[in-house]
Amino acid sequence: MEQAKKFIAGGWLTFAEETGVNKKEPVENFEWMSSDKQYYFIDCHDALEKVEGAREWLKAYTCDEADEPFWCEMATSVGSHMSGGHTNESFISIMWSYKDALNNWDNWVYETKKRDAQKEYMKCQVSLFTLRELLQMCYTWFKYEGQWAGEIEYILKRRTGLTGTVPEIQLGLEGLLAELNIIQALNE
């Protein structure tokens, strides 16, 4: 619902910084994750700890495209130490994801945080419709330099929380609109 949304000045880069997307995390520490996701990664971590050589095996794991992934003795051994709450699909998914985490922790953390934060960002940032409406007000402002310009400027500043001139506000809104279009296209 649009009422719960707000104008986030600075866009995604500001939001990402404020929500810790760029913050590095200690290797194999999942405290930064939501508790529902955290559970699966801790479960996998603990299982890997219990099977000798499992961590190195997972880091180097490959399989042919035609083969069923993680259908081998080592995977069965690791899986036997995980909770019973995994379907075959969730087991395969967590194993691939954990493999990525082991092989490139910083990038994996960043991409995981970014994916989750962008969903949240799109939920709380004003909609594309609202941005277009605000930009239309900017364009209208240029037409009415007389009596309506002051009122339009006041409404723009009140709705966005931005200071500066209308052309500066317009520039910021156009940048934000371009950014949201890119994020939406990537999500689609």
CA dihedral over 120, 122, 123, 126, signed as positive or negative: positive
pLDDT tens-place string over residues 155-186: 888 888 778 888 888 888 888 888 888 877 77
Q: Which domain holds residue 133?
A: 126-187
> In terms of domains, do 80 and 135 share one?
no
The last residue of a domain, from among 70, 104, 138: 104
In a domain, 20, yes or no: no
Q: How many domains is the chain built from?
A: 2
pLDDT digits (tens, 9 = 90+) for 67-105: 899 999 999 999 999 987 788 899 999 999 999 999 999
The closest alpha carbon to 180, from 123, 129, 122, 138, belongs to 122
Question: Is 17 inside a domain boundary?
Answer: no
Nearest partner of 55 among 64, 63, 47, 67, judged by Cα: 47
Specify if 72 maps to a domain. Answer: yes
Nearest-angstrom CA–CA distance, 26 and 105: 9
Whether the CB-CB separation of 59 and 102 falls below 8 Å is answered with yes
Q: How far apart are the C-alpha atoms of 165 and 133, rounded to whole Å? A: 18
Within a domain: 16: no
3-state secondary structure 82-110: CCCCCCHHHHHHHHHHHHHHHHCHHHHHH
Domain boundary, last residue among 104, 134, 161: 104
For 7-14, what is the mean pLDDT?
A: 82
The pTM score is: 0.75
